[in-house]
Amino acid sequence: MNDQAHKLRSLVKSMSNNQGDNQNNDDLNKAHLYTITSGKGGVGKSNCTANLALALQEKGKRVIIFDADLGMANLDVILGVTPSYNLKHVVNGLKSLEEIIVSGPNGIALIPGGSGMQELANLSQIQINNLISSFVRIGKEYDIILVDTGAGLGNNVVDFILGSDEVILVSTPEPTSITDAYGVLKTISRYDKRININLLINQVENHREGEIVSKRLITTANDFLELEVSLLGVLPKDDSVVKSVKSRRPFLVEFPKARVSKEIRVIANKVLDQEVENGSPKGIKGFFSNLLGIGRR
């Protein structure tokens, strides 16, 4: 294991040396990577991811979604697409990363992780090398990568979080969901207190409810975990979401005038404002280094 970790570390180091400080480096690091996560399942992560991606795309950004949920991958359902291949085919050398990308409504791009996600923990040096290069290549084509993860902190979720530029933590106002969101914050704080965490409260009865709940969570995280958490936005409980899931068309496309669609556009604006404030992204390579357990722990 140690031997493998050593090999991986030198591999990543050699890759970064090759890229050096040349002009291309700017291009390589262009895509901002957001991990969308939650403590509890079923809070609306995947719907938020899909529709935020579409809203960002409406504003002229090139966006790609990576469905990295091991257990309950359902972005394909939400986007109404049926991928024939997933990351497993890339890992096994049967397809290139480009070949597994599917295109959803308004041309939004999706990388289906599928069963390939399980295999990330056991890749050979060559497979890691190929995968990192593929993602770096893809990263050059997009401005924003949204990674939808599973709920809770199992599997690779912590690694996703630590490697990303920003975390979007989704919770509903329900006490159980908030408690689980706090659990996620607690775990993050053990590894990295400087990570940018953006709270998205979904399914609120009214805006005020979202503000009250978020304020409490933000203060608690600040006082007890010394974590900087900010409120990204609040989304209403809206039947359009339920209907859009049933019709397999994202609510932003199916019900562009619904309240929830207006609010997700507000959130997209905020994401773009923050992107300007936060400056250069860490880059795809950093993300994968974390994901594959290189240079950490």
- Positions touching ligand ADP (CB under 6 A) are 38, 41-47, 72, 74, 202-203, 235, 237-238, 241-242, 245, 260
What secondary structure does DSSP assign to the chain, as a single string? -HHHHHHHHHHHHHHHHHHTTSTHHHHHT--EEEEEEESSTTSSHHHHHHHHHHHHHHTT--EEEEE--SS---HHHHHT---S--HHHHHTTSS-HHHH-EE-GGG-EEEE-TTHHHHGGG--HHHHHHHHHHHHHHHTT-SEEEEEEEESS-TTHHHHHHHSSEEEEEE-SSHHHHHHHHHHHHHHHHH-SS-EEEEEEEEESSHHHHHHHHHHHHHHHHHHH---EEEEEEEE--HHHHHHHHHTS-HHHH-TTSHHHHHHHHHHHHHHHHHHHH-S---HHHHHHHHTT-S--
Residue 197 interacts with, from ligand ADP, Mg ion, none (CB under 5-8 Å by kind): none
Q: Pick between residue 150 and residue 281 the one whose CB is nearest to ligand ADP.
A: 150
Considering beta carbons, is residue 76 or 143 the nearer one to Mg ion?
76
Does 46 bind Mg ion (CB under 5 A)? Our answer is: yes
Q: Is 49 in the site for Mg ion (CB under 5 A)?
A: no
Residue number, 250 or 286, with CB nearest to ligand ADP: 250
Instruction: Report, in Å, the least distance between residue 200 CB and Mg ion.
Output: 14
Residue 97 binds which entry of ligand ADP, Mg ion, none, with Cβ cut-offs from 5 to 8 Å by kind?
none
Closest contact distance (angstroms) between CB of 233 and ligand ADP is 12
Binding at 183: pick from ligand ADP, Mg ion, none (beta carbon under 5-8 Å per type) = none
Closest distance between ligand ADP and the C-beta of residue 177, in Å? 10
Minimum distance from residue 179 beta carbon to ligand ADP (Å): 16
What residue is closest to Mg ion based on CB?
46
Beta-sheet pairing, 166-171 with 196-204: parallel
Q: Judged by CB, which is closer to ligand ADP: 120, or 241?
A: 241
We find the least distance from the C-beta atom of residue 41 to Mg ion, in angstroms, to be: 7
Tell the smallest beta-carbon distance from residue 110 to ligand ADP (Å).
Answer: 14
Half-sphere exposure of 267 (CA within 13 A, CB side): 29
Q: Tell me which of ligand ADP, Mg ion, none is bound by residue 238, counting a contact when its beta carbon lies within the kind-specific cut-off of 5 to 8 angstroms.
A: ligand ADP
Place of tokens 């809770």: 152
Contact 271, 32 (CB under 8 A): no
171 binds Mg ion (CB under 5 A): no
Least distance in angstroms from the C-beta of 191 to ligand ADP: 23
Nearer to Mg ion (CB atom), residue 12 or residue 146: 146
Which of residues 45 and 89 has its CB atom nearest to Mg ion in the complex? 45
Alpha-carbon Rg for the chain in angstroms: 18
The CB-of-3 to Mg ion minimum distance in angstroms stands at 36
Residues 6+ apart with CB under 8 A from 86: 100, 112, 113, 114, 115, 116
149 interacts with Mg ion by CB under 5 A: no
Closer CB to Mg ion, 46 or 198, in the complex:
46
Name the residues that contact Mg ion, by CB under 5 A.
45-46
